Amino acid sequence: MDFSKEKGEFYNNLTKTIRRHIVKMTNHAGSGHPGGSLSATELMSVLFFEHMNVDPDNPDWQDRDCFFLSKGHCTPVFYSVLAEKGFFPVEELMTFRDVDGRLHGHPCGEHIPGVDISSGSLGQGLSVANGVGLIAKLDGSNRRSYCMIGDGELQEGQVWEAAMTTAHYNLDNVCAIIDWNKIQLDDFVENVKGVKNLGDKFRAFGWHVVEIDGHDIHAVNEAYKEAKRTKGRPTAILAHTVKGKGVSFMEDTHDWHGMAPNDEQLEIALKELA
C-alpha cells in the first residue's frame, strides 16, 4: 500500500535534504563516496524513519533494532540519515572527514551515536547482523537486525559465509538490503566480476527474496514490511538503484564512486536537488 500523500511529501523532502547533505559533505571534505550514498538514500531514509525501532536519545538501548552498514564507505548517506533522525546535530555533518571530528571517512562504532559497528573493510556486516539476530532469538527479544551490502561487495566471500549462517539458523529477524546500483569502484559490476541471477543466488542459500525499485519509497516501505512478515527464514531485499541518483552528472557512472564535487559541480548538484 502506498504512503499517504503527506507521508509521500515528507519522504520527497527528506530524501532531497539528505542528497543535498551528501554532495555538501563530500564537497566540504574534498573526498568521500557520493555515488553509492545517493543510490542508497531512499533505502536508508525509509528504514530509519519508518521501521527501525531506535531511540536517538538513548542510542545504546539494549532492545533496539540494529543497523550495520557493510558498505562502510557510504557514510555520507549514513551520517545524514542519523543526523536527520536526531542522533547528533545536523550541523556536525559539515565536519565530515575532518581530522578533529568524529565523522571519519568510514564509520567508527565506538564514537558515533547510532553506529553499531565500525565498518569499511567490505564483507563484514552480515556476520555481525547475524550475531545480533542469534542473540535476539536466545533472549526472546523482538529486536531486528538490518545490514546494507553493496552489489560489488558481494564479491567478498564472507558475505556468503554469513548468508549460510543466517539461513541455517532461520534468522527471520535479519534483513539484508542489497543496494544493487550495478557499479563498483573500477567499473560496472558485470564487467569486474558479475553477480547475475542474484535472486536465485540468495534463494539457493535459503533466503526469501524481495526485488524492488530502490528509489520507489512505497516499494521500499512494502519490502521492509514483507521482511518483517516473513517467518522462518531471512529476507534479502534486492533493490535496483542508480549510482549517483538525483545528480545528473553523477548518475550511472563509476567516476563518482569515490570522488567529491568541486564548488561549481556542487552548485549544479544543489540546483538539481532544490
Partner 1 sequence: MANQEAPRKGFADALIRLGEKHDNLVVLDADCAKSNMTNLYKNRFPERFFNIGISECDLVGTAAGMAVAGKVPFANAYANFLTGRAFDQMRISVCYSNNNVKIVGHNAGTSAAQEGATHLPLEDISLMRSLPRMTVIVPADAVEMEKAVEAAYYHEGPIYLRVGKLPVPIVTKKEEPFKIGKAIKYREGSDITIISTGIMLDESLKAADELEKQGVSAELLHIHTIKPIDKEAIIASAAKTKHVITVEEHSIIGGLGSAVAEVLSESQPAILRRIGTNDRFGVSGKMDELLDLFELRAHRIISTANELLGHRVTS
Binding residues for partner 1, rule: CB under 8 A, are: 62, 66, 68, 108-110, 116-121, 123-136, 138-139, 145, 157-158, 161-162, 164-165, 168
Please state the separation of Cα 257 from the chain's center in Å: 15
Q: How far is the CB of 126 from partner 1 (least distance, A)?
A: 8
Q: How far is the CB of 141 from partner 1 (least distance, A)?
A: 8
Cβ neighbours of residue 29 closer than 8 Å, sequence gap 6 or more: 96, 97, 98, 105, 260
Shorter beta-carbon distance to partner 1: residue 126 or 217? 126
Shorter beta-carbon distance to partner 1: residue 63 or 267? 63
Q: Which residues pair with 208 in a beta bridge?
A: 235
Grid look-up 543496494 returns 179
Q: How far is the CB of 14 from partner 1 (least distance, A)?
A: 27
Shorter beta-carbon distance to partner 1: residue 104 or 208? 104
CA dist 44 and 204 (Å) reads 26
Shorter beta-carbon distance to partner 1: residue 121 or 197? 121
Picking from 57, 79, 21, 199, the residue whose alpha carbon sits closest to that of residue 67 is 79
Q: How far is the CB of 36 from partner 1 (least distance, A)?
A: 18
Q: What is the DSSP letter of 177?
A: E
CA distances from 22 to 215, 219, 269 (A): 16, 23, 10
